[in-house]
């Protein structure tokens, strides 16, 4: 389902799951017992999840008509 077709509840549910996935990726990234290639994979996954997280935050803000105050907007 496209992000623009989801309800606010569905967006929040996916945001929570994405936050947890990002946290686990970052934890593995800092695990020195993993190989460099494994840590690189986790870094890439964390970045992809963070991108998804920002998209979800923007979609929630848009649904709640709070787009102008979104913490996910780039300021540079």
Category of 34 on φ-ψ map: left (φ > 0), alpha (ψ -120 to 50) or beta: beta
Report pLDDT digits (tens) over 28-74. Answer: 999 999 999 999 999 999 999 999 999 999 999 999 887 666 666 65
Residue 19 to residues 9, 13, 36, 63, 76, Cα–Cα distance (Å): 15, 10, 23, 20, 24
DSSP 33: T
Q: In terms of pTM, does the model score above 0.75?
A: yes
What are the structural domain ranges in the chain?
3-65
């Amino acid at each position: 389902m496209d992000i623009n077709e989801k309800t606010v509840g569905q967006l929040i549910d996916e945001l929570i799951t994405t936050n947890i996935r990002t946290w686990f990726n970052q934890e593995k990234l800092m695990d020195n017992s993993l190989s460099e290639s494994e840590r690189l994979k986790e870094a890439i996954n964390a970045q992809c999840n963070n991108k998804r997280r920002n998209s979800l935050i923007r979609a929630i803000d848009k649904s709640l008509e709070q787009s102008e105050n979104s913490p996910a907007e780039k300021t540079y």
